[in-house]
């Protein structure tokens, strides 16, 4: 076949450009088998669809499983039995979209911003965030016998008139969040967080001067005051920088407690913020 690199054609209503070797055409799911001249400047394209070999979800082998009405090949995974396509018309169906939603969320992009960047709807972004959060389990690999800090961070939910507190505990060594609750600063809520820390057999538990802590943490372990909580106070600032809904002096705030909890779960435990691999949904 002669060199057709750079030649522009229209294929199934889409403009495509042939690459240098003339064999690959865009969109990438097709490749060119033959280009047959019909008359001057006109060609018949003989194309074949690139086959999918591995499952997007579990990397096992896939087999062909029928076609859609528009002729797109469907595949089914032999392992997890999920149906999938090599390419989708609606971008939200693509496998990588959930990963991108999680990455953008922890980079300070709001829901509407994520929808605009990825070209998907706001409702899809919200649904994905909830789904990702549901798949995340609390981290069980926290080191024992460490120095732990507990602090509260105020925010709003629903409107700027309803104030809520995020109480969370934090391992000073690796900055891993052990547990968190969203709600008022009641004894029950603070107890949930302190119990998680006391179960790790701590050397020190550092908190601010909130009187409720005195009844929850044994006196020999309890350290109160700013020098002891400086790491978690700094982490509060990082949280406010990275989660759009926690940014102060803006109009950003969570519309529901459920979404706030979902975003915090993704930030704390999905591993996205540490760049140590993206969540799989
Ligand atoms: Zn699979």
Dihedral sign from CA coordinates of 13, 19, 23, 26: negative
Predicted confidence (pLDDT) at residue 249 exceeds the cutoff of 50: yes
Answer yes or no: pTM beyond 0.95.
no
Name residues with Cβ closer than 5 Å to ligand 1, which is an ion. Answer: 55, 57-58, 77, 79-80
More confident residue, 268 or 137: 268
pLDDT tens for 2-19 read 556 666 766 666 666 666
The per-residue pLDDT for 275 is 41
Report CA(135)–ligand 1 centroid distance (Å). 17
The per-residue pLDDT for 264 is 94
Predicted confidence (pLDDT) at residue 280 exceeds the cutoff of 50: no
Report CA(77)–ligand 1 centroid distance (Å). 5
pLDDT tens for 154-166 read 999 988 888 899 9
Report CA(61)–ligand 1 centroid distance (Å). 8
Report CA(263)–ligand 1 centroid distance (Å). 27
Q: Write down the mean pLDDT value for the chain.
A: 83
Report CA(261)–ligand 1 centroid distance (Å). 29
Class of domain 147-269 as given by CATH: alpha beta
* Band of residue 191 on the pLDDT scale cut at 50, 70, 90: very high
The per-residue pLDDT for 225 is 86
Report CA(46)–ligand 1 centroid distance (Å). 31
Lowest mean pLDDT among 33-47, 52-66, 100-114, 255-269: 33-47
Using a pLDDT cut of 90, give the percent of the chain over it: 46
Report CA(47)–ligand 1 centroid distance (Å). 28
pLDDT tens for 89-130 read 788 888 788 889 999 999 889 999 999 999 999 999 999 999
The per-residue pLDDT for 279 is 41
Predicted confidence (pLDDT) at residue 150 exceeds the cutoff of 90: yes
The per-residue pLDDT for 73 is 84
């Amino acid at each position: 076949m002669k060199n057709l690199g750079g030649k522009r054609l229209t294929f199934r209503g889409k403009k495509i450009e042939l690459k240098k070797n003339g064999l690959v055409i865009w969109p990438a799911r097709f490749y060119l088998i033959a280009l047959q001249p019909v008359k001057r400047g006109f060609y018949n394209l003989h194309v074949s669809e690139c086959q999918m070999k591995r499952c997007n979800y579990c990397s096992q082998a896939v087999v062909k499983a029928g076609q859609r009405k528009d002729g797109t090949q469907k595949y089914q995974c032999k392992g997890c039995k999920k149906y999938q396509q090599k390419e989708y018309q609606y971008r939200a169906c693509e496998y990588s979209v959930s990963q991108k939603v999680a990455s953008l969320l922890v980079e300070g992009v709001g829901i509407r911003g994520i929808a605009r960047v990825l070209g998907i709807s706001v409702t899809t972004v919200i649904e994905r965030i909830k789904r990702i959060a549901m798949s995340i389990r609390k981290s069980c690999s926290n080191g024992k016998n460490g120095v732990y800090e507990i602090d509260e961070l105020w925010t709003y939910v629903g409107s700027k008139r309803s104030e809520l507190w995020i109480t969370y505990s934090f391992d000073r060594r690796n900055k891993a969040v052990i547990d968190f609750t969203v709600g008022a600063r009641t004894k029950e809520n603070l107890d949930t967080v302190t119990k998680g820390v006391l179960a790790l057999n701590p050397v020190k538990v550092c908190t601010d001067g909130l009187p409720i802590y005195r009844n929850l943490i044994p006196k020999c372990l309890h350290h109160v005051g700013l020098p002891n909580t400086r790491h978690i106070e700094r982490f509060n600032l990082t949280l406010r920088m990275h989660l759009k809904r926690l940014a102060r002096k803006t109009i950003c705030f969570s519309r529901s407690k459920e979404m706030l909890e979902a975003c915090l779960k993704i930030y704390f435990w999905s591993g996205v913020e540490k760049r140590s691999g993206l969540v799989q949904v």
